[in-house]
Amino acid sequence: MKVLVTGGAGFIGSAVIRHILKNTPDFVVNVDKLTYAGNLESLASVSDSERYAFEQVDICDREALARVFRDHQPDAVMHLAAESHVDRSIDGPGDFIQTNIVGTYCLLEVARGYWQGLDAQRKAGFRFHHISTDEVYGDLEGPEHLFTEQTPYAPSSPYSASKASSDHLVRAWRRTFGLPTLITNCSNNYGPYHFPEKLIPLMILNALEGKPLPVYGKGNQVRDWLYVEDHARALYEVVTRGKIGETYNIGGHNEKQNIEVVRTLCGLLEELAPKKPAGVARYADLITFVADRPGHDHRYAINAGKIQRELGWTPRETFESGIRKTVHWYLDNLDWCRRVQDGSYRRERLGLRGNGN
């Protein structure tokens, strides 16, 4: 199988590509615009594979997308390209509307035209897998409630609203045009190669530099945490074995308050990086509570029973095992982090583009 992955230089997309190339015989075409969050260094371990090709293409460019489909003839699409940082969506919603809504529309139209031109056998096997977020559901009230595939949409931020819009487009293209689509909605991911603006890597790197660890409000917002390599396995199961037209929620079964996550990171750093910056007695002393962001959802939690029942997927990592692996990875890969922080990764892309086949 040849899989076209959009956003494959991003955090989750790169994990998906690494999983496919290391654990399956499939081919991968990575389509990525290479915005600030796209980092080809995250694919250095697989980029020399004869089964990997890279195309620097904006999903809003229909002509370029059509050429990619013609040249590579994919059997499936895994659509991960998206603007995804809530704070950035509040500061500048326009990029989120353009990429997440208009870009998804362009990709759907190009995929539809390509799919309609396939022979009967290849047409029957083609799949369009749209990867979304649990944030489209808004937030939950009581601790007993969980998001299911039937939970009504109630997005709170420009980011989640744009992802909800893209989910609706995918369903409409299935219903109206018959395009064979699947949708997954996941909880908060964490793990290796996470862009340093996100909570977990930001806390690790700030702590190591003796900088404040900013926590919104009282830090009592609850998130379900999913190790990114578990997510990549789930996504591959869905695109290869999921039922066309279905939605699958993917969660890590690890609900934690944000402040719990930060304190856990501080505790692990005390153990694994005991030599602290000058003037820091304990990493936890760096925790700083800041004004909450507008429209901040209080609690997300996923019921992942459907994907377990139908596809047999469950997460392998507990939060305790996954977060320890994550801290170890960042401590072992500080050079990668520094190149992202100083922007040099954007100047070193040319040698990591794949073989172009």
User: Could you give the CA distance from residue 126 to residue 211 in angstroms, rounded to a whole number?
Assistant: 49
Are 101 and 165 in contact, with CB atoms under 8 Å apart?
yes
Residue 135 a catalytic site member: yes
Active-site residue, selected from the candidate residues 52, 114, 159, 236: 159
Among candidate residues 302, 297, 27, 75, the one with its CA nearest the CA of residue 184 = 302
Residue 227 a catalytic site member: no
Specify the DSSP class assigned to residue 350. G
Amino acid residing at 274:
P
> What are the C-alpha distances in Å from 74 to residues 50, 132, 136, 225, 302?
16, 21, 29, 32, 31
Active-site residue, selected from the candidate residues 83, 134, 139, 237: 134
Among candidate residues 173, 342, 322, the one with its CA nearest the CA of residue 244 = 173
Active-site residue, selected from the candidate residues 55, 135, 224, 297: 135
User: Is residue 184 classed as helix, strand or coil in its secondary structure?
Assistant: strand
**Residues making up the chain, counted from first to last:** 357
Q: β-pairing, 222-227 with 255-257?
A: antiparallel
Residue 159 a catalytic site member: yes
User: Could you give the CA distance from residue 117 to residue 208 in angstroms, rounded to a whole number?
Assistant: 54
Quickly tell me which residue has 């989120």 as its tokens: 96
User: Could you give the CA distance from residue 176 to residue 174 in angstroms, rounded to a whole number?
Assistant: 6
User: Is residue 298 classed as helix, strand or coil in its secondary structure?
Assistant: coil
Specify the DSSP class assigned to residue 97. I
Catalytic residues: 134-135, 159
